[in-house]
Amino acid sequence: MTRASETQTVCLCTRVEKVTVCLCTRVEKVTVCLCTRVEKVTVCLCTRVEKVTVCLCTRVEKVTVCLCTRVEKVTVCLCTRVEKVTVCLYVFFPK
């Protein structure tokens, strides 16, 4: 049996005014996130195939770390900004 213990999602984010919009792909599925920054905390609302993911992000130095919850699964995101584009690597840890 070969089963991956974790699945990776790559996201491309761009900032429109004060709202960050992310497009994520994972195994032929697409996740769209809307993020807004409240003080120093970024809150994201993501939708994917009738499922909703809510993320809380904090910035440590130049790296953004997000903790997301989605239907009994926990998502950890690592985001870094290259020029004006934010690239996120999502690691899913199924229960």
- DSSP code per residue over 14-81: EEETTEEEEEEEETTEEEEEEEEEETTEEEEEEEETTEEEEEEEEEETTEEEEEEEETTEEEEEEEEE
Asked if residue 40 lies in contact with residue 57, where contact means CB atoms within 8 angstroms, the answer is no
Which of the pair, 93 or 20, is modelled with greater confidence?
A: 20
| 3 or 63, greater pLDDT | 63
According to the model, what pLDDT value does residue 27 have? 52
CA distance 88 to 95: 22
Whether 1 maps to a domain, the answer reads no
Has this prediction a pTM greater than 0.85?
A: no
Res 53: pLDDT: 67
Residue 47 lies in a domain: yes
Domain extent for 44: 7-93
Whether 2 maps to a domain, the answer reads: no
Residues 43-71: what's their mean pLDDT?
Answer: 67
Does a structural domain hold residue 85? Answer: yes
> How many domains is the chain built from?
1
pLDDT for 1 equals: 37
What's the whole-number mean pLDDT along residues 51-57? Answer: 67
Q: What is the number of other CB atoms lying within 10 angstroms of the CB of residue 54?
A: 14
Position 80 in a domain: yes
